[in-house]
A and B are shown apart, each in its own frame.
Chain A
Amino acid sequence: MSISEETVDQVKKLEADKYKYGFVTDIEMETAPKGLNEDIIRFISEKKEEPQWMLEWRLKAYKHWLTMEEPNWAKVGYKKIDYQDLYYYAAPKSMDRPKSLDEVDPELLKTYEKLGIPLKEQELLSGVVAVDAVFDSVSVATTYKAKLTEMGVIFCSISEAVREYPELVKKYLGSVVPHSDNYFSALNCAVFTDGSFVYVPKGLRCPMELSTYFRINAENTGQFERTMIIADEGSYVSYLEGCTAPQRDENQLHAAVVELVALTNAEIKYSTVQNWYPGDETGAGGIYNFVTKRGACRGDNSKISWTQVETGSAVTWKYPSCILQGDNSIGEFYSVAITNNAQQADTGTKMIHLGKNTKSTIISKGISAGRADNTYRGLVKIMPKAEGARNFTQCDSLLIGNTCGAHTVPYIETRNPTARVEHEATTSKISEDQMFYCQQRGLSPEEAVSLIVNGFCKEVMKELPMEFAVEAQKLIGISLEGSVG
């Protein structure tokens, strides 16, 4: 999705008092000291003018988090995180903003160019245009937000939702990912700063792709983001998250939580392109992306579909999952994960079949280059009542070079005789024949790798909304640069 020049200019002109139409409330840039304790949580809650129940929920999560241990089962290694050495609210940001694109890191600009990002947007991305001025570029959404409101769609920041729609939030918050779920989600429950909230009313097919981000993520909301999407009976919504442009962030730890609820006959399509800073060639400085994403197909005939293209971050730990409660409900997971240099990704999904005739499809494509490790880890669980459940899983790995690793760790648990579960996995490489054939037709080695890898990922790429697909294709090539020759 691209921002037109107009909107950018419009945003530039925005004055502070207009932010209230946007997603983020008018927060003064105050900083809380480093570290985590109950006072910090009270401070965050107070800043957000949250009701008492919200504060209590946060504190409950915090107390539980204290009893938990950081998980170590994933095939990733990283320096131990000192949770007391982090800012949990409005970390100070660098005051030196580049004055023009000339001052921006040329490497970054090169990437923008390759992705075909318009100049105006490049300014936004590289911070030439102050993010404060845009303060959540999301306010650009103002124009179409009015349209959405008219149709009955609630699309706002989660902080706003807590204040404006407490009953909805109370009913669903933590109902898919409970505060006790895992270490990182518990931390998120305690300290989440913002994120988006979507409610699509009964019977409505939301006519536009929703995206909180455009390309720019507000500083400080990205770190402990919380997203909640509720699709009421018979509704449909498609939601885009992230962007193809490389995103840099001062915060190394990202622990987001996304909860989706699809009621009877409802469908949610959630697409992600994740391109956080992967760190330098040694992996230093990259983002730790520890995300909990889960959707509940609560109603009969409901459907949740996750599509992700993961190319960024130093460490990715992410398992977008579906709980298929309603009869005939459908869960889908389409994933491309690319790791290069020192990147590590441990990603996959969980499909929990509870209802009758529930169906799930998992297509995972892992590409590993450099010294990277890429793991698919997934669970398919068929519960005794899931009469007629079906699952199909295809996990393919591609290795580029001989210093990287590709791993597949599926767990398949079946407790119903009528279930049919199929799992296939393969590992292969780009053959020398393929490279020569492409080169003989005039493609450079980089272009050849990009083309072949895109072909390898085709089944996933075609699930992406058009807005994302073209750039995501380019992104695949860019993230594998330097992996051959």
Chain B
Amino acid sequence: MSLLSIRDLHATVGGNEILKGINLEIGPGEIHAVMGPNGSGKSTLSYVLAGREGYEVTRGTIAFKGKDLIDLAADERANEGVFLAFQYPVEVPGVVGMTFLREAYNAKLRYLGKQEIDAMEFLKFVRSRAKTLNMSDDMLKRAVNVGFSGGEKKRNEILQMAVLEPDLAILDETDSGLDIDALKLVSDGVNELRSENHSMLIITHYQRLLNYIQPDHVHVLAHGKIQRSGGKELALELEAKGYAEFSEEAA
């Protein structure tokens, strides 16, 4: 059975239809890449999946672990196991990273009807996760994303992902604004988390992230629809030919 099953998904933002019938199946442990030109609806897809207000589904279904996601609020979806690594992670002044992450972790435990974790135990857990990712947990001593460099923000997202252990992680343009060293660090982290329990949806404009994270499937999104699907070789083809084939005229 698919972990995520998207059928004929149509969505509007501010009255404009951006997604015009998306079909996508993601199985457990699979890594899918959605590529596409600017304005194709890539980020919209990630927001629609995460349940951002103002992104209205007008038709179609999103089933996650067999459950309909559409009527769930953003926090409920998160607690079901959908994680969005933001393209532009948000600053939350005054809220220390560790506190933020513990609140999030406990919210999930509560949602699942489990006992909350105490602060010391959580600290140990986070340290161990950070270690596997070869990251320092220093970032978590500062207010969430406040004064972080672009690279730090993205790494912070990956660390949060590692701690919250989602069933499905959506990486929205995680490679944007990263230099090559940061890109490698982030990719290593993602690869570290790769397992049959963790599926990923990587949203990207460029192919270069896929040099580091090998996808099982690649999809081309343009004009609100998936135009083509294939294996990782499709990404290389796009790198060579660009998106011209999927321009307005070609469609």
Contact = CB atoms under 8 A, between A and B. Distances in A.
A457 B92 CA distance: 12
A168 interface: no
B108 A456 contact: no
A443 interface: yes
B95 A443 contact: no
A384 interface: no
Contacts of A447: 75, 103, 107
B125 interface: no
Given A442-B111, A443-B75, A457-B94, A436 B52 contact: yes
Interface of B: 50-53, 73-75, 77-79, 83-84, 86, 89-95, 99-101, 103-105, 107-108, 111, 143, 160, 164
A441 B104 contact: yes
19 contacts: A432-B53, A436-B50, A436-B53, A437-B86, A437-B90, A438-B75, A439-B51, A441-B78, A441-B104, A441-B160, A442-B79, A442-B104, A443-B75, A443-B103, A447-B107, A451-B100, A454-B94, A455-B93, A455-B95
Nearest to B80: A442
Nearest to A444: B75
Nearest to B52: A436
A67 B53 CA distance: 58
B217 to A, nearest CB: 24
B95 A439 contact: no
Contacts of B53: 432, 436
Interface of A: 431-434, 436-445, 447-448, 451-452, 454-459
Given A436-B53, A439-B78, A442-B78, A455 B92 contact: yes
A174 B135 CA distance: 60
Chain A interface, >50% SS class: helix
A65 B58 CA distance: 68
Nearest to B84: A440
B107 A443 contact: yes
What 6 A-B pairs have minimum CB-CB distances, sorted nearest first?
Answer: A455-B94, A455-B95, A458-B94, A439-B74, A441-B104, A442-B78
B112 to A, nearest CB: 10
A441 B83 CA distance: 7
A442 B75 contact: yes
Contacts of B78: 439-442
A441 B50 CA distance: 10
A442 B95 contact: no
Contact of A434 (B84, B90, B107): B90
A456 B93 contact: yes
A451 B95 contact: yes
B92 A452 contact: yes
A436 B108 CA distance: 16
Nearest to B99: A451
B92 A440 contact: no
Nearest to B106: A442
A451 B96 CA distance: 10
A334 to B, nearest CB: 14
A59 B59 CA distance: 78
A430 to B, nearest CB: 10
Contacts of A459: 94
- Residue in B75, B83, B160, B164 with the greatest tally of chain A CB atoms within 10 Å: B75
A69 to B, nearest CB: 42
A454 B95 contact: yes
Nearest to B78: A442
Contacts of A438: 75, 92, 100, 104
Nearest to A458: B94
Contact of A451 (B52, B79, B92, B160): B92
Nearest to A431: B90
A434 B92 contact: yes
Nearest to A433: B90
Given A434-B92, A455-B93, A439 B73 contact: yes
Nearest to A441: B104
Contacts of B91: 434
A454 to B, nearest CB: 7
Contacts of A431: 90
Contacts of B89: 437
Contacts of A452: 92, 95
Given A439-B75, A440-B50, A440-B78, A456 B94 contact: yes
